């Protein structure tokens, strides 16, 4: 007997009869998301581009369920704090958007409901198994993947031509290209090492074979500074030391200017960034293309992912079935993807492979001069390395790491030091949460 029942179990107990009521489509009761005029109303929070278009399309085609959409700030900008606080106050939305790294944290906190039994086998079959593996723990699923975003290389074709560069296929070639850029043009750099890019760094480590977290033997085993990560850290440290890269925030006006003024030649980000680029820099139409990420070993190409979101039904939802129906439509219906891409700001790569052709047709092709980026994304998505897991407190881990990156970028400390600090700053947190943990520090 592990003590008295908590608020969450009590809530689950009180929510169950309400859910049953919703199934029978009779009196809904005293919920905030009650039906009006015969339709079940559910609330949906998201920071994703094009969400309003998707919700409008859903509401147009559905009579029984109507969705109230609220655009919220992105996770790091306060969106996750908003969700946590709302859940603490007992009024989280029916459907929340959670990025992959934060799924374990919200599942552990009980914000994301266990939806294993709500999810039909049909929906499971439609989704890439690697994406479901990132939202499933101890055989229970906590959220439904919307998209999966392999890391790719976005590059400026005109500047590559001007400086006589080939698209690098390996990290060695990439470093060589960085040296060429540095030699030929004093104020230009090949790429940015983002000091706020804990997630980019994670993707590099993921690609190189790192395993920051695993859950063998029923405990969180943490090893942020494992051998592949040390290799990646040494690589970027050298780029910094040789002054071959910019080192500043990627979500900053400074970086926006670096891109806008043609000072930076490439961006290493997830597939989604192709769409974000179109809306942020419409004037650069026709100058950018997308290529596969450089490899460590071209015989066995792998990539990690950067970005990508999932939808969770929260513990506070009074209409979990309706919420699930909306989620299923969002992640697997062609109209949903078409609506999102029509916003002109998204190049989302769907977690449901059946939608890739829809994406290819719906994506406006002028910006990339007709390049078939969806086929490229599909090839890259196939090489996403299996077995990666995110930790229980990624937002905090990422923050500590980025604090260290910022210092390293300013010449104090190193990238590897930042990674080690992130591990040291994460362990006390996990212990205070009462989780079983082990750690390997090297």
**Residue 8 interacts with other proteins (CB under 8 A): yes or no:** yes
Select 63 or 251, whichever has its Cβ closest to other proteins: 251
Strand partners of residue 291: 153
First-to-final CA distance of the chain: 39
Q: Smallest distance, Å, CB 74 to other proteins?
A: 14
Q: Which of residues 219-238 bind other proteins (CB under 8 A)?
A: 219-220
Specify the stretch interacting with other proteins by CB under 8 A; choose among 29-37, 57-65, 121-129, 134-142. 134-142
Asked whether position 157 contacts other proteins by CB under 8 A, the answer is no
Q: Which of 9, 77, 91, 298 binds other proteins (CB under 8 A)?
A: 9
Using CB under 8 A, count the residues that bind other proteins. Answer: 53
Please identify which residue in the block is written with the tokens 């001069």.
369
**Is 435 near other proteins (CB under 8 A)?**
yes
Run of H or E residues at 221: strand 220-222
- DSSP string for 281-344: -GGGTTTEEEEEPPBS-TTS--B-B---EEEEEBTT-S-HHHHHHHHHHHHH-HHHHHHHHHTS
Distance (Å, whole) CA 181 – CA 208:
25
Please tell me whether residue 122 binds other proteins under the rule CB under 8 A: no
Binding residues for other proteins restricted to 372-431, rule: CB under 8 A: 392-393, 395-396, 399-400, 402-403, 406-407, 409-412, 421, 424-425, 427-429, 431
Q: How crowded is the C-beta side of 22, counted as CA atoms within 13 Å?
A: 25
Confirm if 265 and 188 have CB atoms less than 8 A apart: yes
How is residue 290 written in tokens? 């997308």
Question: How many angstroms separate the CA atoms of 403 and 153, rounded?
Answer: 25
> CA-CA distance, 300 to 289, in Å (whole number)?
24
Q: Which one among 57, 108, 245, 351 touches other proteins, defined by CB under 8 A?
A: 108
Smallest separation (angstroms) from other proteins to the CB of 436: 5
Regarding 90 and contact with other proteins (CB under 8 A), the answer is no
110, 194, 294, 304: residue in contact with other proteins (rule CB under 8 A)? 110
**C-alpha pair distances (Å), 202 with each of 151, 319, 376, 391:** 11, 36, 22, 12
Query: Whose structure tokens read 């910022």?
Result: 406
**Residue from the set 5, 73, 282, 354 that interacts with other proteins by CB under 8 A:** 5
Chain centre to alpha carbon of residue 120: 24
Q: Which is nearer to other proteins, 284 or 396 (CB)?
A: 396
Tell me, residue by residue from 336 to 375, as one string, x for binding to other proteins by CB under 8 A and - for no binding. ----------------------------------------
- Rank residues 91 and 436 by Cβ distance to other proteins and give the closer one: 436
The nearer residue to other proteins, 137 or 235, going by C-beta atoms, is 137
Min dist CB 102 to other proteins, Å, is 11
Q: In whole angstroms, how close is the CB of 216 to other proteins at the nearest point?
A: 11
Q: Looking at 130, 195, 229, 258, which residue binds other proteins (CB under 8 A)?
A: 195
Q: Taking a C-beta distance cutoff of 8 angstroms, is the pair 70, 83 a contact?
A: no
Burial class from Cβ neighbours inside 10 Å (0-12, 13-18, 19+) for residue 370 reads: exposed
Whose Cβ is closer to other proteins: residue 110's or residue 275's? 110
- DSSP state, 127? S
* Contact set with other proteins (CB under 8 A): 2-6, 8-9, 80-81, 84-85, 105, 107-110, 137-138, 140, 142, 195-196, 215, 218-220, 249, 392-393, 395-396, 399-400, 402-403, 406-407, 409-412, 421, 424-425, 427-429, 431-436
């Amino acid at each position: 007997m592990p003590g008295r029942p908590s608020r969450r179990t009590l809530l689950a107990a009180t929510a169950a009869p309400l859910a049953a009521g919703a199934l029978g489509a009779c009196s809904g009761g005293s919920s905030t998301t009650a039906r009006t005029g015969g339709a079940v109303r559910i609330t949906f929070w998201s920071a994703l581009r094009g969400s309003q278009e998707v919700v409008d399309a859903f509401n147009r085609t559905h009579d029984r369920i109507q969705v109230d959409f609220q655009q919220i700030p992105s996770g790091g900008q306060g969106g996750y704090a908003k969700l946590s606080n709302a859940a603490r106050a007992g009024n989280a939305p029916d459907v929340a958007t959670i990025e992959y790294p934060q799924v374990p944290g919200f599942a552990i906190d009980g914000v994301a409901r266990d939806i294993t039994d709500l999810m039909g086998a049909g929906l499971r079959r439609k989704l890439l198994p690697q994406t479901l593996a990132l939202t499933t723990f101890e055989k229970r699923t906590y959220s439904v993947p919307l998209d999966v975003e392999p890391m790719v290389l976005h590059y400026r074709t005109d500047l590559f031509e001007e400086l006589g560069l080939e698209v690098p296929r390996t990290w060695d070639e990439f470093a060589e290209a960085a040296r060429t850029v540095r030699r030929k043009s004093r104020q230009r750099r090949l790429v940015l090492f983002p000091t706020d890019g804990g997630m980019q760094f994670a993707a590099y480590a993921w690609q190189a074979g790192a395993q920051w977290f695993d859950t063998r033997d029923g405990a969180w085993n943490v090893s942020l500074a494992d051998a592949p990560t040390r290799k990646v850290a040494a690589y970027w440290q050298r780029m910094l030391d040789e002054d071959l890269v910019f080192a500043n925030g990627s979500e900053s006006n400074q970086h926006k200017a670096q891109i806008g003024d043609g000072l930076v030649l490439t961006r290493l980000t997830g597939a989604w960034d192709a769409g974000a680029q179109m809306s942020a820099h419409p004037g650069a139409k026709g100058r950018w293309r997308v290529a596969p990420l450089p490899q460590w070993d071209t015989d066995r190409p792998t990539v990690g992912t950067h970005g990508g979101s999932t939808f969770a039904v929260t513990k506070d939802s009074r209409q979990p079935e309706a919420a699930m129906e909306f989620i299923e439509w969002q992640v697997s219906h062609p109209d949903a993807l078409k609506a999102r891409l029509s916003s002109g700001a998204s190049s989302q790569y769907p977690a449901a492979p059946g939608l890739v052709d829809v994406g290819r047709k719906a994506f406006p092709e002028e910006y990339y001069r007709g390049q078939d980026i969806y086929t490229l994304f599909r090839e890259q998505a196939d090489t996403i390395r299996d077995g990666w897991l995110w930790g229980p407190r990624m937002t905090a881990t990422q923050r500590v790491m980025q604090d260290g990156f910022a210092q390293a970028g300013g010449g104090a400390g190193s990238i590897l030091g930042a990674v080690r600090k992130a591990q040291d700053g994460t362990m006390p947190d996990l212990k205070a949460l009462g989780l079983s943990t082990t750690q390997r520090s090297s």
